[in-house]
Amino acid sequence: MIALLAGCTTPGPRIDKSLSATGQASRVRFLVLHYTVSDKPASIKILTQQQVSAHYLVTDDPQPTVYGLVDETRAAYHAGISSWKGYTQLNSSSIGIEIVNAGWKDTPQGRVFAPFPQSQIDVLVPLIKDIIARHKIAPENVLGHSDIAPLRKQDPGPLFPWHQLAQAGLVVWPDANRVAAVRQVFDIQVPDAAWFQKKLAAHGFALAQTGVFDQQTRTVIGAFQMKYRPANIAGEPDAQTAAMLEVLTTPANAPLPPVPPAPQLPQLPTSPVVPGTPVPVPGVPPVQAVPPAPVVQPVQPVQPVQPVQPVAATQQ
């Protein structure tokens, strides 16, 4: 019976691959880095036996191993609900690399992130170089999970050495001299919420343009700071963050933003001032005039007292 069924199987079409089209490109547009928040055994179990997956896993051994878990021609389930530069659901257009790392833990002193050993980075950098070279991935599309899903993810965290990847030419980085020049502008006046939201969206984040510094805006600012200014990731819209955003979203030959004018105080009255007339000062309540002291009447001189005559002695 098995032989009979096998004989009934229709062979697939014969495909001649001797020709190749010029107009073609990789389906891969993004490279996304993650930490596992688990040790090596747990990471391997999760990524091979559960629904979540990644194309590669870099271990934290003294000599790290790179495991290939999903073929690059197939989608791995690592990005989830995600967006970058208008592209969404990035599982189908990205390659994911998971890095064995404990992630973070909350302590009485605040959240503490786990560092990445240099041996791990020494293995990761050539892996990234190979992937982006084969798929022609642009440096601005080498991302962290916190870039493509900032409202729900923090990996690979503020201790991941993004600047080291930038020095290897793998990610974009703001020019320090331009940042210093632009910061002088924003030290005078930090931009408003609408400016930050517009610049964060231009950089690549999916962000509602509400015009106010709401929680989602501060969270996205914090995600940006984790990558480019990890010393302070509080999500505060400060001058340094604004300068970095301006440099990353503006062509290198573009002029610096104009210096905002200093706040002007209301003009004081220019009419002649009569001596003794109080001049109003903006923001200062007027001082009530003090009534003049009553005139003290001069004291009348006291009439001299006449001496008392001695009383005559009484006769016995």
Q: Any idea what the CATH number is for the domain that residue 138 is in?
A: 3.40.80.10
Indicate the residue type of 243.
A
Amino acid, single-letter form, for residue 286: P
Lowest mean pLDDT among 25-34, 221-230, 236-245, 295-304: 295-304
- Using CA atoms, how far apart are residues 67 and 59, in angstroms rounded to an integer? 8
Please say if the pLDDT value at position 143 is more than 90: yes
Reported as a single tens digit per residue, the pLDDT across 241-261 is: 999 999 999 988 888 777 665
Residues 165 and 193 in one domain: no
Are 38 and 158 within one domain?
A: yes
313: pLDDT confidence band, cut at 50, 70 and 90?
Answer: very low
User: 166 with 207, same domain?
Assistant: no
Q: Do the domain assignments include residue 277?
A: no
Tell me the average pLDDT across 293-314. 52
Identify the pLDDT of residue 115: 97
Average pLDDT over residues 69-80: 97
Q: Which pLDDT band holds residue 65 (cuts at 50, 70, 90)?
A: very high
Together in a domain, 229 and 146: no
118 vs 252: which has the higher pLDDT: 118
pLDDT surpassing 80 at residue 137: yes
Neighbours of 267 (CB within 10 A): 7
Say if residue 126 is in the same domain as residue 218: no
DSSP 145: H
Q: Looking at 136, 152, 173, which one is the last position of a domain?
A: 173
To 10 degrees, the CA torsion angle through 141, 145, 148, 150?
-140
Straight-line distance from the first to the last Cα atom of the chain, in angstroms, rounded to the nearest whole number? 176
Tell me which of 207, 241, 259 is where a domain ends. Answer: 259
Instruction: Check pLDDT > 80 for residue 22.
Output: yes
Is the pLDDT at 316 greater than 70? The verdict is: no
With respect to residue 313, please indicate whether it lies within any of the assigned structural domains: no
In a domain, 279, yes or no: no
pLDDT at 33 over 90: yes
Structural domain that includes position 169: 26-173
Residues carrying an active site annotation: 98
pLDDT (0 to 100) of residue 205: 98
155 and 217 share one domain: no
On whether both 42 and 153 belong to a single domain, the answer is yes
Show which of 125, 147, 173 is a domain's final residue: 173
Q: Which of 19-28, 219-228, 287-296 has the lowest mean pLDDT?
A: 287-296
Domains: count for the chain: 2
Does pLDDT of 178 surpass 70?
yes
CA 101, 107, 110 angle in degrees (round to 5)?
95
222 and 105 in a single domain? The answer is no
pTM (predicted TM-score): 0.78
105 part of a folded domain: yes
